[in-house]
Amino acid sequence: MADEGKQVAAPKMLRVDLSGQVAVVTGASQGIGRAIAETLAANGATVALVARSAGKLADVADAIRAAGGTAEVFSCDVTQGEAIAPVIEAIVEKLGRLDILVNNAGVTRDTLLPRMSDEEWDEVLTTNLRAPFLFMRAASRPMMSQRYGRIINVSSVSGLIGNPGQANYSASKAGLVGLTRTVAKELAGRKITVNAVAPGFISSDMTAALGPALSDEVKKRVPAKRLGEAWEIAEAVLFLAAPSSGYITAQTLVVDGGLIG
């Protein structure tokens, strides 16, 4: 029997022709964001890597180039709203177009409601909901001019079912689902799709920090009896980013091993 705690090796991956397209990935310096950026690049997209840490982004860009892909670094603190439109403008000016936007950047500041500070609420909502709104607003302009675009927002199952200790995070991710549905309906006539991916428990530095006991408890709750892998989220994003996914919009694709049924 396979060890349920071991990481799942990637099988033969989905292949999509994204050559000639430009993709923006926020939170691309690590974890799920890095996996998404590497997957889009491996399928031919030129990837604009966006995150706060230019050093970490440079490492990701180097890895993508070493694998034969193309990536450019655009350092941006997504909590600084006034920086978002200029970074999108800089990407379009340098790379010539914008075809795919992946809003992945996110933070958690978990604590129970009676102890949650205004600052903990505001930081999570600013990063997880306001920043995607600003990126979508800025990116919609070149996409509308092109009459083509793919926007994928990384939500969470916490935004669909709630999770104790995550009032701020769950609210932000639920809001992102509502924002996705509304903007999808606004932009559909311009051949721009807007969808969300909602990961469940995904193997990461954060989940590793939970410790083996809590990790084992999480696996008991998941019908698949394991944590998901970052590449599995990246593959879901790639599917929604494909030119062939043009009739899929306003949807939330749940990737959670059956957690919420």
Catalytic site positions = 169
Segment holding 254, helix H or strand E:
strand 252-255
- Residue 6 DSSP label: S
CA distances from 58 to 75, 150, 185, 239, 253 (A): 10, 25, 36, 26, 30
Q: In the chain, what is the straight-line distance between the N-terminal and C-terminal CA atoms, in Å? A: 25
Give the E-state strand segments of 58-164 in sequence order.
70-75, 100-103, 149-154
Cα 16 to Cα 215: distance, rounded to the nearest angstrom: 34
Cα 210 to Cα 212: distance, rounded to the nearest angstrom: 7
State whether the Cα torsion 152-153-154-157 is positive or negative: negative
- Report the residue count for the chain: 261
